Amino acid sequence: MARVAFLGLGVMGGPMAGHLTAAGHEVAVFNRTAAKAEAWVATHGHRSAATPRQAAAGAEFVMACVGNDKDLRAVCLGEDGAFAGMADGAVFVDHTTVSARVTRELSGRAAEAGLGFVDAPVSGGQAGAENGALSIMCGGTASDYARAEPVMTAYARICRRLGESGAGQIAKMMNQIAIAGLVQGLAEALHFGEKSGMDGRAVVEVISQGAAGSWQMANRHETMLEGRFDFGFAVDWMRKDLGICLEAADETGAALPVTALVDQFYKEVQAMGGGRWDTSSLIARLRRFSAD
């Protein structure tokens, strides 16, 4: 079993760190809000630390799941950052969805310090984190990945290296691009059915068994029809992720017309007060505008 530090105990990080303890790893945790780290320790045992550096001291692996590029830099760099506390040869594993640019920057800084670095963003949402069934998309050297992969299996359904540093983040962008279009399509289909007087549940039972079927349809159609959005992956975070996708598209010359459009639809959901609603709340926007 390994000595592991986990930085960031939100709706994703908290359960992921819990799976590490269940797998028998020795875990030290850090969270920007110390009370959350203390509550995690009260439930799972082990120890909390006042800074990322203190959490990382003596760890073979340091996992992070924080908010954005700025948050990731904050837990990695500086006098109290994890890199300052990690021993030579330790591996930093970043589960945050961030830009490939900051991933490559931090990977380079880690290499200069004699550390390994794996970018390993996750998909599967809060339920996937709680059930230990996340899809993990990884970038980094083959040797760093090979060392970290057995630790990540504690909360993974599938874990795969897809290339060098930044490849995991590019794969996560592809994941979010695909989800954005799927959720909008599902929202439009259900909304159209409502306006046409159809029984949405009955229709989904049929079409979900054909080419229209998807995870979103299977897991979100019921709550979309009921107008319940107080769970899952928040619109605010989806807009952060889509912003990363669109910025990367500008850099690479990729055309993402549907993604750009759905990003604006999510902006309208935010204006409706739905920033913390689940991403399936796109149907609420359709209902509102059709009623106006």
By annotation, the residues acting in catalysis are: 172
Angle at the Cα of 161 from the Cα atoms of 182 and 54, rounded to 5 degrees: 100
Report the 10 Å Cβ neighbour count for 38: 13
Q: 238 and 264 in contact (C-beta within 8 Å)?
A: no
Q: How far apart are CA 151 and CA 148, in angstroms?
A: 6
Closest CA to 77 of 57, 106, 99, 56: 106
Q: Which helix (H) or strand (E) holds 179?
A: helix 167-195
Closest CA to 52 of 88, 16, 81: 81
Q: How far apart are CA 145 and CA 156, in angstroms?
A: 14
Can you tell me whether residue 91 is helix, strand or coil?
Answer: strand
Contacts of 214 (CB under 8 A, 6+ apart): 182, 186, 208
Chain centroid offset of residue 243 CA: 14
Q: 73 and 104 in contact (C-beta within 8 Å)?
A: no
